[in-house]
Amino acid sequence: MIAQTLKWVGGIDGFLELIDQRRLPGELVRLQCRDTERLYEAIKTLAVRGAPAIGVSAAYGLVLGMQKLTDTDDSERGLEVLAKSCEYLASSRPTAVNLFWALDRIRQSAERFVADKPNAKLQALREVILAEANAIYQEDVKMCRRIGENGQKFIKQGAGILTHCNAGALATAGQGTALSLMFEAHKKGRKFKVYVDETRPLLQGARLTAWELKQAGIDVVVICDNTAGWLMKQGHISAVITGADRIAANGDAANKIGTYSLSVLAREHGVPFYIAAPSSTFDPSIKSGDEIPIEQRAAEEVTTFGKTQIAPDSVKVYNPAFDVTDASNITAIITERGVIKNPNADSISKYLRS
């Protein structure tokens, strides 16, 4: 069974149900968000994470925001409340591009609706907002499935796949990006094994990816990040598949720290290295990986575990959230629209224009 990260329950007066990812893998708890404050908190505290999942959640957050407006029928008042909810939710994860994109899209469609039909009742506007949120949800589900389908030839019977971090159902409304390939192959009855890097410091691989794959009945083995090269050396890995956070015009791809090392190790051992990501991940305004800003995160993520201190007091830490994999190390990028082999500035520009 593939995890369903989020689900809207009911009509315009409904609520959003989320898997609380902070409790995984220990417990599967579903969080009911019945107002924007609760959803804001869920995004901020990483109960829901992953760019697409955050975007879809925020879209539904705007549906929740409209529920407060009970003393009027005026759709202009509705737009004001919508604008405030947008601003509020945008501050929950200030660097999440999908979040802003989803909020803008809903707002624009609401404004268009009111501009077209100035006399429309608030209820009709609320229906438009819910419909747009549902559309974003459905598009995400479809995008995930298509990525999975497009990558099927890369998961062979008996394969040993290595993945890093979490690019799965928990990060999207659908069945994920990198993991979507595995879910599709599993549905087709193919047998393969997935090695999951635990992915320090936040352990998204051990906590989330391993849980998702196990739930779906896929054969999964957790390893420490430093074990991947040794597995390749012993011939256990036939492909590495990861997601990406941002892909430059020349194909250089930013993804969770550790991805770059995997790409070097894969090349050394003749193992193909694939990235699975939606077209929205390409940022043609960025020429190469050198221009991608790398978020530096708090030392405490590395030096403490829960309440346990695992490094000396006030020791210096280098904790970048991402690294950049050179396009030349990437065998192919798999998107919802197809496969870009040997990605480079030419092949990507051709793809983006097609």
Please give the residue ranges that form the binding site for a second copy (CB under 8 A). Answer: 25-26, 164, 195, 197-201, 203, 206-207, 210-211, 214, 219-231, 233, 257-258, 260-261, 264-265, 268, 302-303, 305-306, 308-313, 315-320, 323
Q: DSSP assignment of 159-178, as one string?
A: EEEEE-S--SGGGSSSS-SH
What are the DSSP calls for 205-216, one per residue?
IIIIIHHHHHHT
Residue with Cβ nearer a second copy (145 or 214): 214
The distance of closest approach from Cβ of residue 171 to a second copy in the complex, given in angstroms and rounded to an integer, is 17
Rank residues 19 and 79 by Cβ distance to a second copy and give the closer one.
19
CB-based contact 238:193 (threshold 8 Å): no
Buried b (16+ CB within 10 A) or exposed e, 251-261: bbbbbbbbbbb
245 is catalytic: yes
Are the C-beta atoms of residues 208 and 232 closer than 8 Å to each other?
A: no
Q: Which is nearer to a second copy, 283 or 326 (CB)?
A: 326
* Catalytic residue from among 225, 245, 252, 323: 245
Tell me how far apart the alpha carbons of residues 208 and 111 are, in angstroms, rounded to a whole number: 38
- Give the nearer residue to a second copy in terms of CB position, either 143 or 262: 262
**Of 11 and 320, CB closest to a second copy:** 320
CB of 84 to a second copy, least distance (A): 39
User: Strand 159-163 and strand 192-197: pairing?
Assistant: parallel
Spatial separation of the C-alpha atoms in residues 212 and 2, rounded to whole Å: 7
CA distance 354 to 349: 9
Which run of H or E residues covers position 111? helix 97-116
Nearest to 182, CA basis, from 206, 160, 198: 160
Please identify every residue annotated as catalytic. 245
